[in-house]
Structure formats: C-alpha cells, structure tokens
Amino acid sequence: MTDTLKNITPVFDKMLNRSDKEKLLSQRSICIWFTGLSGSGKSTLAIEFEKELHNRGFLAKLIDGDNVRTGINKNLGFSEEDRNENIRRIAEINKLFIENGTITINSFVSPTNNLRELVKEIVGPSDYYLVYVNASLNVCEQRDVKGLYAKARKGEISDFTGISAPFDEPKNIFLEINTSESDIKTCVNILLSKFLPIIELQKENEKL
C-alpha cells in the first residue's frame, strides 16, 4: 500500500444517508431506464415524464444520451468498448443521484441485454426499472428526425443500431410502451400510473 492510500479515510458512516434524503423529498429514489431504437420516442417521452413528475412535486433528473455525449462522455466514440464505457459511467452517475434521493430518468438506446444488465448490476436490481420504448423500425425510420437512418442506409454511418448493428429484444422489462400505437400524453399517463405508487413516500405528518 502506498503512503497516499494510507492517508485515505472514508467518512461514509458520518454522512447523511439515502433514507435521510428520501424523507426530506418525500419520495423513493429509483433508476428508470428507457431503452429503444433511435426515433422510438425515448427522449420525447422522458422529457414529458420529467415535467409531469416535477409538476407533482417530485425531484427527478433526466439523463439523455446526446447530452452525455457532449459532456462527461465527449471523449468516447462508438466502438463496442466505448459504448460499454459510456453506459458504465452513466450507471455510476445514476447511483450517485439515487443516493442523493433523486429519481433518475434515462434515455439511452443501450442496444444489448448485456449493457442493460450492467446498469442493473451497478445501480442494484431493487432500484432498476427497465422501460422498453417500442416502435417498429419502419416507424422509427419514418420519423428519422436526425436523418441518421438515411445516412446509415447510405453507408455513411457504420454500426448503426437497427440497420448495421443489432438491437436485442429487451428481457426482464418492467414496462413496455409502444409509441407507434399511443400518443405521448397517453404514454406519460401509463408511466405515471405505474411509477407513482413506487416513488411516493408518505410524509411523517400525514401518518398522524
């Protein structure tokens, strides 16, 4: 052991813990993980869901793939190794937010079941809720807001999920929402009906 390591003294036992933060916020902190193809509606749904939780007095943090790629993970590319590291870092960030009592809403393609299991392992199975935002490849291509599918079809983007790279059908999901069959408002209401009973904590003065 180096002299530097000898001087490290963790103080976790002296810090406020997760339950203290959750009681303050009157909510249970969890990780809600949206997976789905590009164009399936993950980001749009996550944005509206966060707004609805905020309007109901919940503290939530939206973590979006594009935002992360321009910030903490801007040094990563799209190789398999970099994609794995991208998701690993996000999972660790989720863990920090959860320990602070915050509900996280994540919008990531996370195309393989191995990646989704990695998040579950890091965050913890009791705090991890996988939501499959489902829309057919045809619908996603029709939307193609960013023009990525068109570029992938032309060979301008390699290893693009759904075209030249695989997307594993999610396993062990908590909820599946099909955005090609329901509008955003309906989808958000489905999310609220499923998650409000999980995240609501009764305030102490309401127990009396």
Query: Is 19 among the catalytic positions?
Result: no
Token code pair at residue 136: 């057919």
Q: How far apart are CA 117 and CA 17, in angstroms?
A: 26
Residue with tokens 């809720």: 129
The H-or-E segment that residue 103 falls in is strand 103-107
The residue annotated as part of the active site, out of 110, 126, 136, 180, is: 110
Strands (E), 52-171: 60-64, 103-107, 128-134
Q: Are 34 and 108 in contact (CB under 8 A)?
A: yes
Residue with tokens 């392992």: 121
Catalytic residue annotation: 110
